[in-house]
Structure 1
Amino acid sequence: MNVHFTQLAQLKDARQQTYKHTLIDRLRTQVSFDAACCTSVDPNTLLSTGAFTESGVGHLHNKLLEYEYLHDDMMKYDQLVREGRSIATLHGATQGQPDRSRRFREVLHPAGFVDELRVPFMYKGSCWGFLTLFRHHKQPAFSTEEQQLLEALAPSIAYHLRQASVGLCPVPSTTAENEMEPGVLVLSDKLSPISSNITAEQWLKLLRQQEGIDGSSLPAPVRAVCLRALSTTLPPIGQASVTSTPPARLCIPSADAGIPWVTLRATLLQGGQGHIGENQLAVWFEPAKANDMLPLMAEVYAWSERERQIVQLIVQGFSTKELASELHISAYTVQDHLKAIFLKTDVSSRRELVWKVYSRFN
């Protein structure tokens, strides 16, 4: 099990795609598989912030995303995270009868795969990515020993995937780029582009470069927010309704030093008569604001829900007395929370905390 995953964290110039690619290469020395996909996600929404997909399964990636968000099936990643399951295989989940899964019948089996293994990468209770491995029909199902090995490696991988997501982003410069107009992209409900402004095209180009895909493909984060927007309006096929679905919004790191983080949002535009084929989706891109980044910062610095509330109010300029009044707690309790926040965030004052929020992520 001496795979040296910690060495990946020392590649300071490596971005997420390099990490994911190298990760899959290292894993292949330990476990046999015919194709793989490694996806980083927003820990608050579980939406994809970027994916590295090997050529053997690249043509299936978009279809698999649709099944993840729009169809009811077994072993979906949000289910694995919600249930606290660290690993699962299709062969195991179906008791050796994978054709019980619609995803298997309609996507995997026609492509020649016999088993699928899924690992949610969890670090301190938050999910930072997913790993999906596939095996062809001529290969055996994933063994218990192989699952145990991947399960043991998963926490270390999760930590370094988290670092690749948030630890290597440049401090933004104060350029006019931060004042650019929002990018707007309109697509059909089949995710075919209809129209866009220049800013949206610039963002799409940048995200495609980061993901290593051609100009005709939608980046995984754009596809993910669109599918989430569709799923919040239309219940997944085979499922009566959706409950507590996170919003169609996520923040992703950008390769642009002027704007290191971008916020993507999507919404469904209803057609004239409300038919599915007449609906359109609107996606917009904006430099991430402090309030957009606070949920992610809360995950990064392990703030409690109360600490997150206090930071949000501090950013708005609340004094200790105002914090106590707003949250219905004593000033002494506020001070105790502040000490914990300062310790976790490695600052020593409110001013440093606010600076860290704005200079790091705004």
Structure 2
Amino acid sequence: MSVAELGAELSDRVGRVIPHDGYLLLGLDPVTGAGCFVAHERAYSARARQWLEIEEPGVAPPVLALGAGVPPRYSADLHRLMAAEGFGGALRIAARHGGVTWGELVLLRGWGGRPFSAAEATRAGALAGGLARALRGFVAGRPLAPGRGGPGPAVVFVGADDTVRATPTARAALRALVPDARTDEDLFGTLWNVVYTARRGTGVALSRIPAAHGWTALHAQLLDGGAPDEVAVTVQPASGRVLLPAVVAWYGVTARENAVLGHVLDGLPAKGIARRLDLSLYTVHDHLKAIYRKTGVHGRDELAAALGG
């Protein structure tokens, strides 16, 4: 299943209880909170989605209704943007479960349609856990696998005025993430979340993206000595220590299994792991079997290859 197919299926299911005209589905890196995939249909334009990244930092409430007949939330500019884009109502549902926000689904209604009601907002709140499970199932339902020839490392430079400079290699790397992009606005849309997160945070941001060709890492960092807010974004295959925290979260790896997994990346044999963690060899093998089952691999060599170990 592709991201677009996931979005269409979730929209269809949710639409049976909360009718809507369009939707925007966003998956989040469960460790950093940065966007890692998106699907949309009859939703905001690429330029509007970029503006929303600037306007609405932070995590939204579990359920948030916006639009006609609803008390104003956030800025008046947001409501003007919605109207300009042809939307009279939006209902945002945070896909939260187990203390983690795995993504967000935004339901949209056209201008002139009835606003989302309080009853529909209540129904939306009851869907949060199911949405979270669907997003996790989308990622963890596929076996963990090494990259299959995706574009190599590339760097994209984003100026303070959001001008993007990208080499052909960088464009190819981004197109592998957004294969249906028709314009530069669509192509560069995957950058804005990490770019703005880096600007308003510690100067760095990271997202690990489950792409068709394997996991890809977007790493944004403010340029040292450059103009304020200039950002370099590295696009490269995600593996090893960079990928591990996301794999642990998406695939439900326990803390003890994670400890074993870390030593697998270090190349320790099972006996060495047992000694290092003060466990029996049988317990180490049990943890390894659980990791293989959760990640869908068939053994240690396949696991190490998938993680770049």
Shorter chain as denominator, the TM-score bin is: 0.7 to 0.9
Give the TM-score, by structure 1 length.
0.70
Residue 267 of structure 1, CA deviation: 0.8
2:221 counterpart of 1:267: yes
5 Å-filtered alignment, 1:171-250, equals 171-172=145-146, 177=149, 181-194=152-165, 196-210=166-180, 212-233=181-202, 248-250=205-207
**1:312-348, Cα deviation, whole Å (9 max, x unpaired):** 123213467865786xx6445x97576356335428x
Structure 1 residues 100 and 253, CA, compared in 2 at 3 Å: closer, same or farther? closer
Gaps of 5+ in 1: 1-13, 70-75, 235-246
SS in structure 1 opposite 2:186?
coil
5 Å-filtered alignment, 1:326-341, equals 330-331=278-279, 336=283, 339-340=286-287
User: How many residues end up aligned between the 2 structures?
Assistant: 304
Structure 1 residues 164 and 324, CA, compared in 2 at 3 Å: closer, same or farther? closer
Q: Which has the higher strand share?
A: 2
Is the 1:248–1:265 Cα contact (8 Å) retained in structure 2?
yes
Residue 255 of structure 1, CA deviation: 2.5
In the alignment, the residues of structure 2 paired with residue 216 and residue 136 of structure 1 have an alpha-carbon distance, to the nearest angstrom, of: 23
Tell me which amino acid in the other structure corresponds to 1:223: W
- The aligned residue for residue 249 of structure 2 is 299
In the alignment, the residues of structure 2 paired with residue 181 and residue 308 of structure 1 have an alpha-carbon distance, to the nearest angstrom, of: 28
Tell me which amino acid in the other structure corresponds to 1:261: W
43, 50, 75: which one pairs with 1:62?
50
Structure 1 residues 172 and 304, CA, compared in 2 at 3 Å: closer, same or farther? closer
Residue 123 of structure 1, CA deviation: 4.3
Structure 1 residues 346 and 170, CA, compared in 2 at 3 Å: closer, same or farther? closer
Residue 251 of structure 1, CA deviation: 1.4
Is the 1:118–1:131 Cα contact (8 Å) retained in structure 2?
yes
Residue 188 of structure 1, CA deviation: 0.8
Structure 1 residues 308 and 103, CA, compared in 2 at 3 Å: closer, same or farther? farther
- The aligned residue for residue 282 of structure 1 is 232
Residue 248 of structure 1, CA deviation: 0.9
SS in structure 2 opposite 1:130?
strand
Give the TM-score, by structure 2 length.
0.80
- The aligned residue for residue 43 of structure 1 is 30
In the alignment, the residues of structure 2 paired with residue 49 and residue 265 of structure 1 have an alpha-carbon distance, to the nearest angstrom, of: 12
2:303 counterpart of 1:357: yes
Q: What's the % identity of the aligned pairs?
A: 22
Residue 16 of structure 1, CA deviation: 0.8
In the alignment, the residues of structure 2 paired with residue 56 and residue 315 of structure 1 have an alpha-carbon distance, to the nearest angstrom, of: 42
SS in structure 2 opposite 1:346?
helix
207, 210, 213: which one pairs with 1:253?
210
Tell me which amino acid in the other structure corresponds to 1:255: A
Residue 119 of structure 1, CA deviation: 1.1
Is the 2:154–2:169 Cα contact (8 Å) retained in structure 1?
yes
Tell me which amino acid in the other structure corresponds to 1:228: T
2:282 counterpart of 1:313: no
Gaps of 5+ in 2: none
5 Å-filtered alignment, 1:17-96, equals 17-58=4-45, 59-69=47-57, 76=58, 78=59, 80=61, 85=62, 87-90=63-66, 96=70
Residue 137 of structure 1, CA deviation: 5.8
Please provide the CA RMSD for this pair: 3.5
